[in-house]
Structure 1
Amino acid sequence: MAIGLMLRPRCLPEKSFPSYAYLSGRQPHPVRDPAGHSYDSEAMPLAAEASLDSDMFLWGLDLFNHGYYWEAHEAWEGLWQVADRGGPLRMFFKGLILLSAAGVKIRESKHAAAVRHAGRAAGLLHRLMDTTDHTFERALGMSPAALAEQAKAAARIPATLQATALGQPQPVFDFILGPSSGGRPIRSI
């Protein structure tokens, strides 16, 4: 699948994206390296509670949809850490974190790792199919089961990556997550 450049919706348009999308060994580590995009900045705060209405969750969606997979992982990890252990919300955040990790591995052309992370994400998301209140579906714009299938498909047929400048974000999934996205596929230009 080839992912074309296009205008993608934003949940929090007032927030500025990081100056680069981090890939290990290719750019400075965002928080540990003095040249990192988030060095000496306020670290991602630990969420007071795990919520799908929080700015942290929405920021993670923006980062993910725009190809900042490492950064999306970091945003959602704060929510995962405070979610009830063994609860569906914690499983949901872990699934998104693993899907973000798959995005990083696809960008790094590490196919086996991408398949492993996407498969683990899909496994967790499939386990959420029994939820009957549609909370996750409304937050994602698609059911967790549909996202699980998208994750597995993306790992099976990796995106055809275009040459980009070092650090330029590049979406690798052909769907958009978010409450108003309806999980709609992206058309390549």
Structure 2
Amino acid sequence: MSRPRWRPEKIFPAYAYLPGRQPHPVRDPAGHSYHHVDPLPVAAAASLGSDIFFWGLDLFNHGYYWEAHEAWEGLWQVAERGGPLRMLFKGLILLSAAGVKIREGKHVAAMRHAGRAAVLLRQLMQGPHRVFERALGMSPAALADCAEAAARLPATLQAIAPGEPQPVFEFVLGSRSRRRPTGSRKGPHL
């Protein structure tokens, strides 16, 4: 399956972090992002059109689940409390955590994270779900179904080099027809 890049100018981290297997990315001096100044600004506003959102899609789709979680957490923190956008980011963060747990072989924890993500994503069907569907490339409910299925029947992991990213979800987030924002153009705010 072809996995799109939304921020092809950005270089993926040196490794896909798994707790206890590689240096912690930001706390360990050997970490891939230790004292790293990211060219992406800290999120001032939560947006599905932001470079940070698209970078999170790239990270997630290519098996950098811990790193995707970190990218989306900044958006979640500035999203309106109780709002649908905050709920979406929390669902994506939990789905990323499920990806980490699947890669770690922690089936129960993966199911718990995927289940919590699914609950949040299904709640989004009552709001402006068309905006979310365009951003995700599928409805939030379909993503919830995919998340639960992936956790129930985790992917067969291949033997790979330590730190090599490994996508564990068969779906790809983001619509191929959606164009990545450039410059200062902003996407929809909710």
TM-score (norm: length of structure 2)? 0.90
CA distance in 2, matches of 1:80, 1:105: 21
Deviations 1:27-50 (CA, angstroms, capped at 9, x unpaired)? 000000000000011267430100
**Mapping of residues 134-145 of structure 1, within 5 Å:** 134-145=130-141
Query: Residue type of the partner of 1:112?
Result: V
User: Alpha-carbon deviation of 1:7?
Assistant: 4.0
Q: 2:35 aligns to what?
A: 40
Structure 2: 5+ residue runs without aligned partners?
179-190
User: Alpha-carbon deviation of 1:181?
Assistant: 6.9
Q: 1:172 aligns to what?
A: 168
Q: 2:5 aligns with which of 10, 30, 41?
A: 10
Percent identical residues: 76
CA distance in 2, matches of 1:28, 1:167: 10
Three-state SS of the structure 2 residue aligned to 1:62 is helix
**Mapping of residues 95-174 of structure 1, within 5 Å:** 95-132=91-128, 134-174=130-170
2:129/2:139 contact within 8 Å kept: no
CA distance in 1, matches of 2:41, 2:105: 31
CA distance in 2, matches of 1:150, 1:174: 8
Structure 1: 5+ residue runs without aligned partners?
1-5, 183-189
CA distance in 2, matches of 1:78, 1:119: 22
2:60/2:68 contact within 8 Å kept: yes
Three-state SS of the structure 1 residue aligned to 2:97 is helix
Three-state SS of the structure 2 residue aligned to 1:36 is coil
1:45/1:78 contact within 8 Å kept: no
Query: Residue type of the partner of 2:112?
Result: R
Deviations 1:121-145 (CA, angstroms, capped at 9, x unpaired)? 0000000011245100000000000
Which stretch of structure 1 is more off in the superposition, 69-78 or 35-44?
35-44
Q: 2:67 aligns to what?
A: 71
Q: 2:26 aligns to what?
A: 31
User: Alpha-carbon deviation of 1:26?
Assistant: 0.2
**Mapping of residues 72-87 of structure 1, within 5 Å:** 72-87=68-83
CA distance in 1, matches of 2:79, 2:4: 27
Three-state SS of the structure 1 residue aligned to 2:81 is coil
**RMSD between aligned residues:** 1.4
Query: Residue type of the partner of 2:6?
Result: C
Three-state SS of the structure 1 residue aligned to 2:155 is coil
